[in-house]
Amino acid sequence: MSKSIAGFSKLSKSKKIDWIVETYFSNKEDANRILKQYWNTDEKLQQLHDEFIENTITNYYLPLGVAPNFLINDTLYTIPMAIEESSVVAAASKAAKFWLERGGFKTRVISTTKIGQVHFIYKGDFNKLKQFFDKTKPKLIKDSKAITANMEKRGGGIIDIELRDKTDDIKDYYQLHASFETLDAMGANFINSCLEQFAKTFKNDALKFDVFSAQEKQIDIVMSILSNYVPDCLVRAEVSCKVEDLSDNDTISGEDFATKFIQAVNIAEVEPYRAVTHNKGIMNGIDAVVLATGNDFRAVEAGVHAYASRHGKYSSLTHAKIENGIFTFWMEIPLALGTVGGLTGLHPLVKLALELLHKPSAKALMQIVAVAGLAQNFAALRSLTTTGIQQGHMKMHLMNILNQFEASNDEKETITEHFKTNTVTHSAVVEAINKLRVKN
C-alpha cells in the first residue's frame, strides 16, 4: 500500500530504490533487478547521469538512430534521432533519399529573436507608468550589464524592452516585454536572469519616483520568466522539383501525386482534427533531433503548437503548391535551440550527436531540425496519399510485436519473410507465431 515519506531526497540512490520497491512492487526482487540493470557500469558516467535531475533511481533508455543522405543547402548530413516510435527514422531516411536525387532541402533562418516578460500589477494612472518606464528603461539595461557582458561580447544581448498594457485582459495587469538575441545558447537561464534583474530595478526605482502616489509606488511583481512562444525565432525549410519528377514508380504519375499531396495539405490547413495529427507527424522528426542534441523538446512543442494557432484556428505547419510546373513543399517554424550550455557540453551522446552534425551553430541546428520535420511530414503524406500509412508502419512495428512474444531469431526470420508479402496486423502476427510454434 502507498505511503508518504519524509526526507526521501536525502536518501542514497540504493535506499531510494529499497523504499520504492518495498512500497510499490509485489515482485520486489524483479523490480530491484530491472532498476539496477540499467545502471551504467562506468561509475563516473553514471554519476554524471544521476546529477542531471533529482531523485534519480536509474536510466531510461531510448534508441538513438540515424537518418543518412540529407542534402541541406548542398551539404550532406546524417541526422541523429532519439525516439521510441517505429518507422520514424525509416520514413525520414526514405524522404532524405527521395530528395537527394531532386536537389535536396533548402533552408534559411528568418529571425532569431527570443522573448521574456516581467508580469506585474500596477494600480494607478497609465500615463505616469509610461513616464516612469521611459525614464527607467536605460537603467534596466544598465543594471543588467553584469549578466549581459559576455553575451554582448559575442554579439548578443538585450534587443529591446517594451511596456505593454494588458488591462483589457486582467485588471491592473502590465508587462515588461523584452526581446533578446542569445546566439548559440538556447538562452533560458540568461533571459530569466535578465528579467529578474529588470523586475528588481523596476520595483525598487518605483519607490523613488516622485510622480507616483503612495499606492502607485507599490508595483507588485507577479513573475519574471522567458516565453517558449518564439514567433520571431523562425526558420524556413523547403523542397521543390518539376511535377513530373515526383513519380518514382509506375503506379502514380507525378501530376496525380502532386494533386493528391496538395489536397492532403489543404485539408490539414482547414481541418483542426487532421491538423493535429498532421503536425504530430512533423514533431516526430523535430522532437527526435531536438532530444538527440540535448535541447528542450517540451519547449519546442509548446511554441510550435502555439504558432500553429496564431491565426485563431489550429492549422497545418506545412504548405504545398504547384507553380509554373514546379512542385514546392515548405514550412516556416519557430525553433529556439542551443548548441552550447545545458546538456550540450555534458551528455556524451549529445556531444557525439553535435559532432555528427558538423558541430553546428544554433542557426545551423535550427535548419537541420526543420528539415527533419519537413522530411517526416513528406514521408507521411506520401504514404497516406498512395499506399496508406499502415503498410509501412506496421512492417516496422512487426519486430516490436515479435519481441512481445519473445520470438527466437529463427522465428523472427521466418515470420519476417512471411510478412514481406502479407499484411501486418497484430492479430495476423500472433496467428503466424502460434502456427509456427505448433508446427515446430
Q: b or e along 396-421 (b: 16 or more beta carbons within 10 Å of the residue's beta carbon)?
A: bbbeebbeeeebeeebeebbeebbee
As a whole number of angstroms, the distance between CA 165 and CA 224 comes to 16
DSSP-assigned beta bridge partners for residue 80: 66
> What strand order describes the sheet that includes 157-165?
157-165, 173-181, 114-121, 220-226
Cα dihedral sign for 342, 346, 350, 356? positive
Catalytic residue among 119, 278, 296, 347: 296
Nearest by Cα to 216 from 137, 138, 126: 126
Say whether 397 is catalytic.
Answer: no
Grid cell 516496422 — which residue?
Answer: 396
Q: Is 296 annotated in the active site?
A: yes
Say which of 280, 321, 363, 395 is annotated catalytic. Answer: 280
Q: Rounded distance, CA 257 to CA 317, Å?
A: 20
CA 185, CA 358: separation in Å to the nearest integer? 17
**Is 358 labeled as catalytic in the residue annotation?**
no
Buried b (16+ CB within 10 A) or exposed e, 223-257: ebebbbbbeebbbbbbbbbebeebeeeeebebeeb
Q: How far, CA to CA in Å, does 438 sit from each of 292, 422, 435?
A: 43, 20, 5
CB under 8 Å to 329, separation ≥6 — which residues?
238, 239, 240, 261, 265, 318, 319, 320, 374, 378
HEC per residue, 125-189: CHHHHHHHHHHHHHHHHHCCHHHHHHHHHCCCEEEEEEEEECCCCCCCEEEEEEEEECCCECCHH
What is the bridge-based pairing of β-strands 114-121 and 173-181?
antiparallel
Could you count the other beta carbons within 10 Å of the beta carbon of residue 220? 11
Catalytic pick from 13, 18, 28, 85? 85
- Total count of residues recorded for the chain: 440
Catalytic residue among 16, 106, 217, 393: 393
Under DSSP, is residue 121 helix (H, G, I), strand (E, B) or coil? strand
Q: Would you please indicate which residues are annotated as catalytic (active-site) residues? A: 85, 280, 296, 393
